[in-house]
A and B are shown apart, each in its own frame.
Chain A
Amino acid sequence: NSIIGDQYRWPKTVPYYFEDDLEINAKGVILKAFEQYRLKTCIDFNPWEGEQNYISIFKGSGCFSSVGNRHVGKQRLSIGTNCDRIATIEHEFLHALGFWHEQSRSDRDDYVTIMWDRISEGKENNFNTYNDTTSSSLGVPYDYGSMMHYSKTAFRNGTEPTIVTKIPAFADVIGQRMEFSDNDLLKLRRLYNCTRSSTFLDTCDFERENICGMIQGPGDQAEWTRVIQAPGGPNTDYSNMGKCTGSGYFMHFSTATGRPADTARLESRLLYPKRGYQCLQFFLYNGGGANDQLVILVREYDEAHPNGTLRVIQPIYAPPQDLWQLHHVSLNVAKKFRVVFEGIKGDAPSTGGLSLDDINLSETTCPDHVWRVKNFSHVMETTPNNKPIYSPPFKSREGYTFQMGLYPSGKEGYPGELSAYAHLVTMTGDTEVRKWPCPWKQMTMMLFDQNPDIMRRMNNQRSVTTDPTKKLNETSELFFWDDPLKVGVEVSEADGTKYFRGPGAGTTAYLTHGRAKSRDFIKGGDAIFLLTMEDVSHLTVTQPVPSSTMPPVTTITTAILPPTDPCTKVTCGNEGVCVVDAENAVCRCAVGDDWWYYGENCQYLGSTQDTMTTALIASFSVLGGMLVVTAVSVVCVKRKYKNSGGVGDRGITMSNVSV
């Protein structure tokens, strides 16, 4: 629920500043959180460019934020140790954007029961509610799935829950820290009057007959058709897996008829990019011939080519199999365009064709690698506790190889959990020159929520970053992220491949089995992990400060500023900021609604109370002065008349005068 008052809103683009003390992994995860805001809402984040108010993200001793824009200039938001999870960061930013916790809304007692006798002594005030003149639930129903809801164990004094949901099915839903719920997004969009999101372009599950405005392309010989089943497979769509009678559509290009090299083009509606890079994601089922092919193209429009020009992006490698395969294609389009799915009939015999479902297009980067664990429910149930399974080794853009280790039944002592670790790997015989210990690469392990709509997905992800200075242990001279040839163990796979697996970093508590079985984490029996390794070494340097301003002296040293900056010699106290005005350094002091700092260095605190006192003193002084002047005047006049003895009417006879 949101704090009422327009003064608490930020502009739709929020300025932020990464303080130097932030962990590198935290910085990387914060940037990922910003990407989720950009994808799912109209909120954007920009590095601070001297705006009067901005969010200063620092490594405090915990995870906390203020609620709403407090107009204090530099507003603190702490991402401390263990706070570097995407959902925790999104949670704190929802506070900063103006939201309280969900269970503090005025109607919460209709939906949950607070067990007051199970709350730690003195912590009861954490279960206060705000009435509807202070906070607004923005016309959205109570949301057990909100990432702003306490978990059932919050502030408990024992082992029993402090919050009991009136609908028991939600007992373990409250407290999810995975991603924005649908209602979190609805409220945020309402609060900030969002009409569109920054980086979302299109989603289509083909459930509606208008097929999301897609068109059959010109110049082809065959067509894509909207079906609920196709000869040669698949028997169901991917969105619903055939669960709902009368729905469950997908697009199919039959290669059972026609001639080799016949094409069928399915073109998206017109799209208008802003960023210049996009990720296209879709599920493809190849039930056709061995040589049938899908090629991704874009049709780009400009003034010289009003009918568009086709550009091939890439052919998709998808051998025929009884499986909806997940594919990602990176695009780099900067002008008005359509995405084109071109099916090409091969020369091998076919009794089926190509099928497409659950297409999503966004202006984001694609994940690097897909690890599909088939029959995952069974794997979770049958794998012994403390036994890991490993993804294949994947190569990153920078040439490092890595893999994910997963304990489907948790590590020892953690039954009912998924535990996950990221490892560096060196393949036997690999002679590529790389820098060791591996410097500042962030590995992200994401369990993919296979909801058809990218905006509604609540993926579960954790990231770890290779710190080249980290030792293997306290007494070791070896580095944790050194070449696995040196610090790892040799592994032989069943297919004969050999490699060295380095130490892993991750968490025993990646996700509970209960949550893994929820939503669409497992679909058609399978779980999909999206794995990425990104270079984050650029985050080791200080964020540049705006050219005309200096950040608070407590966090940034003056050494990084140009020597000619007049602000280098000025220290603004009480979180004031220095600006250059007509080549002179002046302090802009922090202000609140009824208080402010002032003085050359913001050293004095003023408030409306002080002003009222001053005004009252001034008024009484003036009144007193006037009384003295009046009294003196009266006395003087009296004396004057007393001395003259009534000579005022001398020589005038007062007779027959009417007044």
Chain B
Amino acid sequence: FREEKEKDEL
């Protein structure tokens, strides 16, 4: 599965 790359959560 693909998912969003930007890790903007802590």
Are chains A and B native binding partners rather than an unrelated pairing? no
Interface residues of B (CB under 8 A from A): none
